Amino acid sequence: AAPRPAHGCGSGALLGRFGVLLQALLALCAFSTLMLKRFKEPKEERRPWRIWFYDTSKQGIGALFIHFANVFLSDLTEEDPCSLYLINFILDATLGMLLIWLGVKVVSWVVHHKKYTYLVFGEYGDPPQAAAWIGQCILYLLIMAFEKTVISLVLFIPGWTKLQQILLGYIPSPQLELVLVMFVVPFIVNAIMFWVVDSLIMRKYKQKDTLDINGSIETPGARRAEESQVLLSPETDFDQSESDQDISGLQGMNQKMKQPSYQVVI
């Protein structure tokens, strides 16, 4: 293909040495946000590393699919590939995010309706099964393929060429344009997307309101009341014993008062 104008990225710039280096750095930094999210979870709800890997790897595979699809689509035309990649990315982060949310909800409803337990996002069995993870990865990739197909159809709407000129036309350096398109903007948006999507597809932990003790259902309030009664029982027994002694003492005095008194007269 003919080289692009000086103000934009050249042909093959996205897959050049500098572009690949930026993409590797982007993947490392964006994926680190998922590790940060794990450590921000409450300790009682924090996922084990294996479950965390199963959850986040689905996003990693989906993000790689979208990324390489955008790179491929950006180099199909004679337009500036950097600006075209940026438009694809912005659409993925806005309209695409809505489509992903809708796809996850629809797939989750179908899976629950058909009672496919191992295809519920975030559920892998006990112990975790790799087969469940593979099935959920396939489902998630189907959602991402649906999202990318819709975004590609949206790009056929006329008027995107003017938006390309507005977005990056004022940047004179191709290297700076590549840094903005392949690292700065994707890192910010991917960090937000990874955080939100991970909350959608992870297992939802709910605090149990009842405890099963010896086959009986006991609420935390009842358990606390029982504990308080146990703690107070010695003091109650002590008070009761003292009151019993006092009553017995009063009864003894009454009996003495009722007994007739005799006087000896000389």
Note whether residue 219 is domain-resident. no
Q: What is each CA distance from 138 to 86, 98, 195, in whole angstroms?
A: 27, 20, 21
Q: How far apart are CA 197 and CA 201, in angstroms?
A: 6
Note whether residue 47 is domain-resident. yes
Note whether residue 233 is domain-resident. no
Q: How far apart are CA 234 and CA 241, in angstroms?
A: 11
How many Cβ atoms sit within 10 Å of the Cβ of residue 148?
A: 21
Q: How far apart are CA 151 and CA 100, in angstroms?
A: 12
Note whether residue 23 is domain-resident. yes
| Residue 156 main-chain phi, psi, to 5 deg | -75, -10
The strand pairing partners of 211, in sequence order, are: 218
Query: Residue 173 half-sphere exposure, CB side, CA atoms within 13 Å?
Result: 5
Q: Is the pTM of this model over 0.75?
A: no
Question: Which pLDDT score, from 0 to 100, does residue 71 have?
Answer: 86
Contact criterion met (CB below 8 Å) for 80 and 168: yes
Residues lower than pLDDT 70 in the chain: 1-8, 10-11, 78, 161, 164-165, 168-169, 204-266
Contact criterion met (CB below 8 Å) for 138 and 125: no
Which distant-in-sequence residues (6+ apart) come within 8 Å of 88 by Cβ? 70, 73, 74, 151, 155
- Name the amino acid, one letter, at 231: L
Note whether residue 148 is domain-resident. yes
Contact criterion met (CB below 8 Å) for 6 and 14: no
Note whether residue 211 is domain-resident. no
Helices and strands (H and E) in the chain: how many: 9, 2
Total of domains in the chain: 1
What angle in degrees, to the nearest 10, is found between the helix axes of 49-74 and 17-40?
150
Contact criterion met (CB below 8 Å) for 49 and 205: no
Question: Which pLDDT score, from 0 to 100, does residue 248 have?
Answer: 57
Task: State whether the Cα torsion 90-73-183-32 is positive or negative.
Answer: positive
Question: Which pLDDT score, from 0 to 100, does residue 210 have?
Answer: 37
Note whether residue 129 is domain-resident. yes
Residues across the chain: 266
Note whether residue 26 is domain-resident. yes
| Tokens describing residue 163 | 């938006």
| Residue 59 main-chain phi, psi, to 5 deg | -65, -40
**Boundaries of domain holding 155:** 13-202
On the 0-12 / 13-18 / 19+ scale of CB atoms within 10 A, 34 is buried
Alpha-helical regions (H) of 115-158: 130-154
Question: Which pLDDT score, from 0 to 100, does residue 211 have?
Answer: 37
